[in-house]
Amino acid sequence: EPAFVATMLAVVGLGAIAVPVSCAGPVAEFARSIAGVDPKLVACGAHGVWLMEHETQIGTPTIDASTASVTSAISPVIAAEPDDLAVLLLTSGVSATPKAAMLSHGNLDWMQRTLLNGVNGPTADDRTLGVLPFTHIFGLNVVLLTGLRAGSCVYLVNRFRARPTLELIASERMTQVAGVPPMWRAWADLEGPADAFQSVRYASSGAAALPVGVFQAVRDIYGREIAEGYGLTETSPVVTSSRDIDPRPGSVGVVLDGVEVRILEPDGSDVDPGDIGEIWVRSPGVFKGYWNDVPATRAVLTDDGWFFTGDVGAFDDDGFLYLVDRIKDVIIVSGFNVYPAELEEILMEHPDIDGSIVVGVPDERTGEAIEAYVDGDVPEAELRAFLDERLSRYKRPAVIHFVEELPITPAGKRVRRELR
């Protein structure tokens, strides 16, 4: 919504740190998300909450960004240094506690300038679909901030619905459309007019792997090839892309200029060409670490700037990257990261649950779906009502299995691979 854009730009212009947070889920989930951030100001809009973090109290404690004048609560725009923090984006890891990835003005600026280069970089003549959540790095930096920097017109859409957005793309003759795989699948399933994407000069997909079948369906129905990319919150986000080359179905493209990527064995040695290993990334877009969490930062970021992604992949002979697996247990539902440890902790809060393990399974509609295995004596309807009060819809299990025993090691480690 426009209030988010105005507030976001005002916050970073002030030199404070913006913390975009969705408030679509239950209040308890929102409270967990911001527990470690300690915001000094909360800006509330109709469809979101935006936080500011600063060393001093700024303006009023709370403003309604949908009706109030943001500029009345803050100071004039300042010139930020590249290393100054711009945003904290909430993410997680194998733990249940959300972590806040620290992205600087320099991180965001470098990524924006990189994306502006090339044949398919946004320009002032572009009309861009802005339906991806701006609390997600893909929507925030790739779509919104880079689009505005180019002078593009960004159409703000609060919620994705396949038919209305397809009609909007056609009626407004949009030229840039960025989406996640479930969006592209939904448009393919509609089998809309063949010319629906006629005005689109660049169509891209990210946040999760795009199934080859979806790529082919969109190409066959609408005559549009989707450029797939790969990135993470911690890399601002793009690492590889197919934006100015012929896409290869199943590949997330080639490494962006200015980005270094290594594929490593578990012992830290580089793999032979064509072999799989963990993906390491180094670039000016790599984040500064996790807010107030030195151990978590040291676990993924080396002193010389290499970030351990936790993703497993391989390059082909032409330098195209293919994602194979994930070392981390993160589940990706409709492009959103879901962390099993968070769900397991919530399940264990129920007094009649003695144990829980959460895993992701393939799903044609959402990419992955969540399945929960629980050891406990509680009616499923009661357990689902319990979860509805504590978790956003996309984090709730599609299936709940009640079992008498879970694969847990004597040390208490959950062996999720036995249930996948």
Instruction: Please tell me the predicted confidence (pLDDT) of residue 44.
Output: 67
pLDDT over 50 (residue 55): no
Higher per-residue pLDDT: 50 or 194? 194
Distance CA 392, CA 340 (A): 14
pLDDT over 50 (residue 335): yes
Distance CA 344, CA 225 (A): 39
Peptide bond into 237 cis (omega under 30): yes
Tens digits of residue pLDDT in 353-365? 888 899 999 888 8
Higher per-residue pLDDT: 10 or 246? 246
- Among the residue ranges 11-15, 16-20, 223-227, 326-330, the one predicted with the least confidence is 326-330
Q: One-letter amino acid identity for 115?
A: L
- Greatest mean pLDDT among 140-144, 340-344, 407-411 lies in 140-144
Confidence band of 114 (pLDDT split at 50, 70, 90): very high
- Contact call for residues 127 and 175 (beta carbons, < 8 A): yes
- Contact call for residues 23 and 66 (beta carbons, < 8 A): no
pLDDT over 60 (residue 318): yes
- Contact call for residues 128 and 199 (beta carbons, < 8 A): no
Across the range 188-214, mean pLDDT stands at 92
- Contact call for residues 396 and 384 (beta carbons, < 8 A): yes
Average pLDDT over all residues of the chain: 86
Among the listed residues 340, 317, 325, the one whose alpha carbon sits nearest the alpha carbon of residue 419: 340
Instruction: Please tell me the predicted confidence (pLDDT) of residue 329.
Output: 75
